[in-house]
Amino acid sequence: MGLSEYNRKRNFKVTSEPSGEAPAPPRQEGVRHFVIQKHAASRLHYDFRLELEGVLKSWSVPKGPSLDTRVKRLAVHVEDHPLAYAEFEGIIPKGEYGGGTVLLWDRGTWEPLGDPHQSYAAGNLKFNLKGKKLQGGFALVKLRGRGAQREKDQERAWLLIKERDAHVVPEETSDITRARPESVTTGRTLDEIAADRSQVWHSNRDQVDAGGAAGGRVAPPPTRIRPPRFAARATPPRGDGWLHEMAIEGERLLARNAGGQLALLDDNGAPLGAAAARKRSAVADAIRMLPAQSLVVDGVLAAMTPDGLPHAAALSGALAGKGKATLAYLVFDLPYLDGHDLARVPLAARKKLLAELVRASSEPGPLRFLDHVAGDGAAFQREARRLGIAAMVSRRAGSPYGARAGWVRAPCAVSAKR
């Protein structure tokens, strides 16, 4: 089959699965690997994969394998998968092909009985498995279709059958899928993997590319962040070259994801305590769903009431799950992305990258991009007053991220705090 069908079905901007171009893990010459992944998609099933012809030949087994020779499991042949997929355990975002949770149920090596290429082509592939859960002889036998469905059935419908040997276990004695539901790599269940958003994988393919941003430099994720301050002014700045945003009533909050290690930071750049972080776990989950390996975002956590506006007084209730207000994390800056320090990149370019990043998330949760209006501050202030917005913030389009950013805040109708 090759990997063209695998790539066609997936959007690697949002799915965490490895692309067809992802490098394969190191292999010992002459050793063939197999993997079985328990997959809670629209329906629970087991994906049975054998390394052959440079790919993972794959079958979807709705009821999973059996150790009983009398039980013949339907195995639907699906598209080939890349060898890198053998390492995948995590979450495929909703809306993507195969969206759901994937658990590495079994893995090991397999040995064909006879020429595997000829046997596969003939639809009668026999082999021995040496896994952590499955041992001994098995066979994959292609069903022969009839009538109009003959060609389709021949390509897709197979049976997975246990061969007679010392590893046979009658189904009534023990069902291996029920007796051993856990992951062979982490020992966790499907529910435990689904609850841990740190298990979302991100492919490097088609991610937002910060490499071409003027002023950016290659650097590791920052260990210390000093969020810029907004200087209070009685009137907004005039003239072109400014970006103006609505000042959000809420809590300044930063998020740093360094290779899966995610931390929420306060307005001084210090990590939140464990209790505070737990209350804001929805924000952490949303950041993990962004298609990036590492990043730093700056924003405001707010409580949005039914009138569509943020209200600071409602934030404590929203964090406790009380009241009608819902949490929203409005992000307005991106000082770091995937190996690139963007602090000296012009603000307009940083916000463009940030907007692309937020749009690429398939599960944004409370995450929102805080848009802006370019131009004269007085015009923005007049419109803000008409809408009842309390205050505005203004930042030069070319400003850096740091102590000398020169960001300002001005009242519109009544004083407010960002």
Q: What CATH number is associated with residue 243?
A: 3.30.470.30
Whether 416 is covered by a domain: the verdict is no
**Better-scored residue on pLDDT, 252 or 323:** 252
User: By mean pLDDT, which of 19-28, 158-167, 270-279, 364-373 is the weakest?
Assistant: 19-28
My answer on whether 135 and 261 are in the same domain is no
240, two tokens? 């072109």
My answer on whether 57 and 133 are in the same domain is yes
Whether 341 is covered by a domain: the verdict is yes
Query: Which parts of 123-166 fold into alpha helices (H)?
Result: 150-156
Which is nearest to 92 in space by CA: 200, 214, 192? 200
Answer whether 240's CB lies under 8 Å from 371's CB: no
Write the pLDDT tens digit of every residue in 123-163: 999 999 999 999 999 999 999 765 444 444 446 899 999 99
Q: Where does residue 415 rank: exposed (0-12), middle (13-18), buried (19+ CB within 10 A)?
A: exposed
Looking at every residue in the chain, the average pLDDT score rounds to 86
My answer on whether 141 and 256 are in the same domain is no
Query: Which parts of 217-280 fold into alpha helices (H)?
Result: 274-279
pLDDT tier at 194, thresholds 50, 70, 90 = confident
Whether 209 is covered by a domain: the verdict is no
Query: Residue 334 and residue 337: Cα distance in Å, rounded?
Result: 7
310, two tokens? 């943020």
Which is nearest to 290 in space by CA: 266, 318, 255, 319? 255
According to the model, what pLDDT value does residue 208 have? 84
Q: Which of 164, 199, 234 is the last residue of a domain?
A: 199
My answer on whether 223 and 329 are in the same domain is yes
What average pLDDT does this structure show over 310-337?
A: 92
Number of domains the chain contains? 2
What single DSSP character describes residue 86?
G
Whether 251 is covered by a domain: the verdict is yes
Q: Which of 132, 165, 199 is the last residue of a domain?
A: 199
Q: Which residues make beta-bridge pairs with 100?
A: 92
My answer on whether 156 and 229 are in the same domain is no
My answer on whether 300 and 381 are in the same domain is yes
My answer on whether 131 and 245 are in the same domain is no
pLDDT at residue 176 above 90?
A: yes
**Better-scored residue on pLDDT, 21 or 315:** 315
Q: For 235, phi and psi rounded to 5 degrees?
A: -130, 150
- Domain, as residue range, for 351: 217-411
My answer on whether 281 and 327 are in the same domain is yes
pLDDT at residue 50 above 90?
A: yes
Around Cβ 66, how many Cβ atoms within 10 Å?
A: 23
My answer on whether 177 and 265 are in the same domain is no
My answer on whether 24 and 78 are in the same domain is yes
Whether 208 is covered by a domain: the verdict is no
Whether 285 is covered by a domain: the verdict is yes
My answer on whether 63 and 90 are in the same domain is yes
According to the model, what pLDDT value does residue 27 have? 56
316, two tokens? 């404590």
According to the model, what pLDDT value does residue 151 have? 47
What single DSSP character describes residue 416?
-
My answer on whether 146 and 86 are in the same domain is yes
